[in-house]
Amino acid sequence: MPFVFKRMISFVFLASLAVIQATHAQDRPNILLILADDMGWNDVGYHGSEIQTPRLDALAANGVVLDRFYAQPTCSPTRAALMAGKSAMSQGVLSPLSKINPAGLPLERRLLPEYLRTAGYQTAMVGKWHLGYRQAPYLPTSRGFEHFYGHLTGGIGYWDHVHGGGLDWQRNGKRLREPGYSTHLMASEAVSVIEKRDTHKPLFLYASFNAPHLPNEA
């Protein structure tokens, strides 16, 4: 997953912790962290790809591109490092977590949303979790996120939201059967979270898209 958003693990984590040092809520910026899944180096227009990515090209042109960072090539290890600010290997997350795995990201790790929530942030996640599925303590709403919408496992169907024969689509623990393409649904939820936030408190929103991960369903 050698894409710019996925190579900012230590930078984003340390920068977010620095934000926590601010004294007043109004001094703390809102944080929107966007993650793309299995997106390659040459899958963006600004690297000369035939794939058209005008929005990402604009972000790159007007922001800072970190081009000497490296990440794990698969789902769960990258997410584990991003959320905990430590290498995936040190946490024992060496490959994508199976749906039948009883555990997830080690519970003794304090995660980025937990730090930010302690500092007075509203914390919300939209999209793909893939850091624990079968037990409640490993779910995003047990790891610092006040709001979660999306799926807990890996490569769900973009249209039916099914993984491994079972529906994997929810909002805050309530299973949902709703029509729509997952990328569009996640984007709409992210916008809704931003619009409905408490403007008196800073917001941390983790938008973890499953695209362009398999299956290939346009």
Which residues have a catalytic role annotated? Answer: 75, 130
Question: What is the length of the chain?
Answer: 218
Helices (H), the chain: 9-20, 54-62, 75-84, 112-118, 182-196
Contact 132, 106 (CB under 8 A): no
DSSP secondary structure, 146-195, as one string: SEEEEESSS---TTT-EETTEE--EETTEE----S-HHHHHHHHHHHHHH
Q: Is residue 45 classed as helix, strand or coil in its secondary structure?
A: helix
CA 42 to CA 171: how far, in whole Å? 33
Q: Which amino acid is at 166?
A: G
Residue 100's CB is within 10 A of a number of other CB atoms, namely 8
